[in-house]
């Protein structure tokens, strides 16, 4: 083997070694025992926007306007590494002049050498900024999900606690509770299934569909289009469930001949108002209840708090007439 062959062999070896380093996508630095840069990878130059001449041979702290002179990194290199063979994913958060604030995971390993205990270090730098942001966003999302779940459980607790138990059998309580629970589930479904809005007609028909079988039952008359927000859909579904349950127990839906007509109009006065009427007929003679139960309170509360309107329950001899008047548009 002549000198030229030997040179070519060595050169090929070197080119291949450098090629391996330059192929690794994360920035790499090889530091000598004095923490001066012996080699840097292509990824290092591109990522930190520096060139070869201002990097090789420099002390790591002097690199790029001393942007690597970071207290955390100093501690890592001067205190942690001498006592251990490798440090993996040491988190360094720093404002880099060229690329802004970043979270870097720095790993340092003694360079492997078969003969001796090398004091050369291989430093790899992984930019974890985006990963950290994703993790933070995920945490926020999970927190919000947890919050909503607990809120939903709070709603279930509220109806469980307020559904009358006194004077009822276990079965009766269970049925009354599950009736409201299902209304809550359906109201939730209706409100959030189709992102955003639904029309009043659609909400009425869907919610009252179980009671609308046959010629009698609930009849939803046609009316003007009224777009509803998810919160309003939820509230209205719960109100309708209370009205229907009440009609089945005491009102027009307690006998086959009874009927409920639901109609509405929009009054374009100074501010548009919805006027929704639930009218029962053909049922047994009705009288106002002695005390207002949770159902009635729920309706009154829901209309005033959630819809910002008012409700009147008229126990007329021919049947209950419920009139809900609520402003449109500005409802929260």
Partner 1 sequence: MRKTVLIVEDEFLIAMDLKLLLERSGWYVLGPAATVEEALELLDDELPAVALLDVTLRDGSVTRLAEALCERNVPFVVASAYSRPELIGGEILAGAPTVGKPTEERLLIAVLEKAVRS
Contacts to partner 1 by CB under 8 A: 143, 146-151, 153-159, 161-162, 235, 238, 294, 297-298, 301-302, 305-306, 332
**Can you tell me the distance from the alpha carbon of 283 to that of 277, in angstroms, rounded to the nearest whole number?**
17
- Smallest separation, CB 311 to partner 1 (Å): 13
- Shortest CB 238 distance to partner 1, Å: 8
In the bound complex, what is the minimum distance in angstroms from residue 159's beta carbon to partner 1? 7
Min CB(121)–partner 1 separation in Å: 40
Q: How far is the CB of 326 from partner 1 (least distance, A)?
A: 14
Q: Could you tell me the smallest distance in angstroms from the CB atom of residue 228 to partner 1?
A: 16
Question: Between the CA of residue 265 and those of 220, 271, 308, 330, what are the distances in Å?
Answer: 13, 14, 17, 17
Give which of 118, 119, 67, 62 is closest to 95, Cα–Cα.
Answer: 67
Structural contact between residues 299 and 320, judged by C-beta atoms closer than 8 angstroms: no
SS3 assignment, position 260: strand
Nearer CB in complex with partner 1: 18/157 = 157
A 10 A CB-CB count for 191 gives 21
Residue 168 CA, distance from chain mean position:
40
From the CB of 149, what's the least distance to partner 1, in Å? Answer: 8
- The 3-class secondary structure across 268-281, one letter per residue, is ECCCEEEEEEEEEE
307 class by beta-carbon count within 10 Å (0-12 exposed, 13-18 middle, 19+ buried):
buried
Of 24 and 142, which CB lies nearer to partner 1 in the complex structure? 142
Task: Report the residue number, 220 or 238, with the smaller CB distance to partner 1.
Answer: 238
Closest CB to partner 1 among 119 and 161? 161
3-class DSSP assignment, residue 256? coil
CB nearer to partner 1: pick between 247 and 307: 307
- Give the span between the Cα atoms of 76 and 68, in whole angstroms: 12
Q: Which residues pair with 312 in a beta bridge?
A: 323
Strands (E), 32-150: 37-40, 86-96, 100-110, 121-127
The CA distances from residue 173 to 126, 165, 241, 315, in Å, are 60, 6, 16, 26
Q: Which is nearer to partner 1, 75 or 146 (CB)?
A: 146
CB nearer to partner 1: pick between 46 and 157: 157
Shortest Å distance, C-beta 155 to partner 1: 5
Q: Give the closest residue to 243 by CA, choosing from 324, 158, 159, 322.
A: 322
Q: Both tokens of residue 257?
A: 């001949």
């Amino acid at each position: 083997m002549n000198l030229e062959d030997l040179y070519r062999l060595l050169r090929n070896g070197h080119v291949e070694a450098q090629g391996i380093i330059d192929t690794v996508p994360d920035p790499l630095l090889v530091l000598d025992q004095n923490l001066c840069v012996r080699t840097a990878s292509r990824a290092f130059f591109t990522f930190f926007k520096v060139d070869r001449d201002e990097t090789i041979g420099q002390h790591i702290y002097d690199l790029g306007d001393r942007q690597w002179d970071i207290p955390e990194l100093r501690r890592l290199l001067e205190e942690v590494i001498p006592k251990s063979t490798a440090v993996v994913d040491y988190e360094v958060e720093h404002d880099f002049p060229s690329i802004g604030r970043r979270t870097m995971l720095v790993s340092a390993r003694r360079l492997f050498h078969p003969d001796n205990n090398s004091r050369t270090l291989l430093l790899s730098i992984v930019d974890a900024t985006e990963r950290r942001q994703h993790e933070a966003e995920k945490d926020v999302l999970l927190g919000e999900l947890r919050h909503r779940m607990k809120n939903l459980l709070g709603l279930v607790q509220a109806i469980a606690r307020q559904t009358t138990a006194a004077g009822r059998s276990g079965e009766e309580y269970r049925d009354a509770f599950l009736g409201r629970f299902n209304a809550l589930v359906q109201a939730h479904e209706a409100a959030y299934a189709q992102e955003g809005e639904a029309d009043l007609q659609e909400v009425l028909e869907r919610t009252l569909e179980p009671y609308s079988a046959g010629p009698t039952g609930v009849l939803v008359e046609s009316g003007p289009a009224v777009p509803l927000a998810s919160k309003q859909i939820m509230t209205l579904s719960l109100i309708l469930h209370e009205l229907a349950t009440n009609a089945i127990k005491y009102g027009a839906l307690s006998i086959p001949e009874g009927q409920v007509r639901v109609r509405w109009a929009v009054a374009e006065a100074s501010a548009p108002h919805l006027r929704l009427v639930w009218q029962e007929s053909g049922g047994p003679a009705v009288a106002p209840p002695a005390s207002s139960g949770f159902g009635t309170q729920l309706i009154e509360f829901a209309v005033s708090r959630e819809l910002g309107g008012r409700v009147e329950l008229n126990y007329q001899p021919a049947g209950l007439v419920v009139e809900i008047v609520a402003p449109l548009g500005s409802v929260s």
